[in-house]
Structure 1
Amino acid sequence: MKQLTDQLGTQHSFAQTPKRIISLVPSQTELLYDMGLEDSIVGITKFCVHPFHFKSTKTIVGGTKQVKIDKIKELQPDIIIANKEENTLEIVESLKDICPVWVTNIITIEDNLQMISDFGELFNKRTDAQKWIDKTNFALADFQNFMKDKEVQKVAYFIWANPYMVAGGDNFINELLKLNKFENIYDNHPKYEGRYPEIVIQKMRIQGDPDIVLLSSEPFPFKDEHAFELGRHTHHAKTVFVDGEMFSWYGSRLVKAFDYFKQLHRRLN
């Protein structure tokens, strides 16, 4: 009997290695695939877009906030992989009667590396896990060297419009902003509480006045008119469309993200 503890501190017992996996988080689906577990993945969400062919070869069990419990039961999973931020507590609780629900909680790079290590233990893929941990650490060190002479710039990272919402503090996006020497003006801002606060864009100048406004490609499809409107409420900010997957997806995607960040900084110079 193997006993392992997830990132919420919940202890799980496994008589054998789980063979039938349902993943309720797009970035974690990609990681499981990159760790060589394609044949074990039986169910995914409609937002699990990488790898592309999964949408035609795997069963869709709903989204990240709403799942089809009957469809999940039919797949007879050995384990369901969820995430504290992506999936609701109600979803996790409703699925526990079917099989163990392993919940990740990713705020920092260290949390991400721990998740990869945990999956290596869970699925008997320790060598693959170590490969991705080594790749991540190498890419991180290389990027930190790239950034060492860069100056700090103030940013606002928008994730939604109507109402306008931004990345605040205590989330993975904010951690990656820090690595890029982007000072998030809404990181634990006294006027706006929560990880993704709704903000008043007319007050951007007096509440931080960013040098750069970043418009994420997900979950909201920002357009030029949003960029123009937001730009009007700063003194001098550049408004830049960015790939949301690179800033918000953890797992193996992070290795690609560091190269993307280098390209972004070259665009900004």
Structure 2
Amino acid sequence: MRVVSLVPSLTEAVAGTLPGVLAGATEWCTHPADLEVTRIGGTKNPRLDRILALAPDLVIANEEENRAPDLDALRGAGLEVLVTEVRNVPQAFAELDRVLTACGAEGRPRWLEEAGAAWDALPEPVERRTAVVPIWRRPWMVLGRDTFAGDVLARLGVDHLYADHRDRYPRVPLDELCAAAPELVVLPDEPYRFTAEDGPEAFPGPPCALVSGRHLTWYGPSLVEAPRVLAEALRAARR
């Protein structure tokens, strides 16, 4: 089995479960750190010629991270493309099972069992806080409706204020974000690399939680540590 991954989360999942199966991955596939495969460009602009040259048995992708025209072109060239959809934590586990099985795994790997146990053991939050969750600036963009990261935060007691927005990642002016009066601002370090200075500079009122983007938005082996790592970062953000 030869697999090309167009999704960093899935790259980490496959590489950690089935060593030697991955033939290619994107430049954004940074985990595992010692991964040695052919790099085929970015998630939004993959080098289709490089993918075809690798002659993979399967290309794994995601409906949000990858562009439909690229996936259609790969199918048109005769490649099998598995497209995942991940909008919440249960769906992440279901899609990981599907991907790993398609890549040749026999049964669930240990890390996935541990991740399931970690999320099943997550206690009911003793308090809930409202938040805005920027993912980009210049222009400012935040989590909107129906996102995996939004579901992760909700399970940890954080309800982001744009969960009912018509867009999944709306552009919202900074003055409007501040006027929404969130009790917390959650700043991930990817896709935009927010730093500790970004919060007080842009949001002088509420406390800011700087969190690991990998633990907030990736659905792979990071799911094992995500409940603990994110909960600690959120607890540390108090007025």
TM-score relative to the length of structure 1 = 0.83
Q: Secondary structure at the match of 1:39?
A: coil
Whether the 8 Å CA contact 2:141–2:172 is kept in 1: the answer is yes
| Correspondence for 1:52 among 15, 33, 40 | 33
Q: Secondary structure at the match of 1:95?
A: helix
Q: CA deviation at 1:131?
A: 3.3
CA distance in 1, matches of 2:44, 2:194: 22
CA distance in 1, matches of 2:208, 2:232: 16
> Larger Rg: 1 or 2?
1
Q: Find out whether 1:173 has 2:149 as its counterpart.
A: yes
CA distance in 2, matches of 1:253, 1:216: 15
User: Which residue of structure 2 aligns with residue 71 of structure 1?
Assistant: 50
Whether the 8 Å CA contact 2:156–2:227 is kept in 1: the answer is no
Unmatched runs of 5 consecutive residues or more in structure 2: none
| Correspondence for 2:23 among 42, 45, 53 | 42
Whether the 8 Å CA contact 1:22–1:44 is kept in 2: the answer is yes
Q: Secondary structure at the match of 1:241?
A: strand
Which residue identity is paired with 2:193? P
User: Which residue of structure 2 aligns with residue 222 of structure 1?
Assistant: 194
Q: Find out whether 1:135 has 2:108 as its counterpart.
A: no
Unmatched runs of 5 consecutive residues or more in structure 1: 1-18
Q: Secondary structure at the match of 2:209?
A: strand
Which residue identity is paired with 1:107? R
Change (3 A) 1:116 1:149: closer
| Correspondence for 2:12 among 19, 25, 30 | 30
TM-score relative to the length of structure 2 = 0.93
- 1:133-155 per-residue CA deviation (whole Å, 9 max, x = no partner) reads 42222101222x2xx35210011
Change (3 A) 1:45 1:138: same
Change (3 A) 1:100 1:149: closer
Structure 1 residue ranges (4+ consecutive) displaced by more than 6 angstroms after TM superposition: none
CA distance in 1, matches of 2:105, 2:23: 18
CA distance in 2, matches of 1:67, 1:156: 31
Change (3 A) 1:61 1:149: closer
CA distance in 1, matches of 2:80, 2:125: 47
Whether the 8 Å CA contact 1:61–1:68 is kept in 2: the answer is yes
Change (3 A) 1:111 1:53: same
Whether the 8 Å CA contact 1:116–1:132 is kept in 2: the answer is no
Which residue identity is paired with 1:176? V
CA distance in 2, matches of 1:20, 1:251: 19
Q: Secondary structure at the match of 2:96?
A: helix
- 1:97-146 per-residue CA deviation (whole Å, 9 max, x = no partner) reads 2410000000112211111221343133132x253442222101222x2x
CA distance in 2, matches of 1:174, 1:82: 21
CA RMSD in angstroms comes to 1.7
Which residue identity is paired with 1:123? C
Whether the 8 Å CA contact 2:147–2:168 is kept in 1: the answer is yes
Whether the 8 Å CA contact 1:21–1:80 is kept in 2: the answer is yes
Which residue identity is paired with 1:177? L
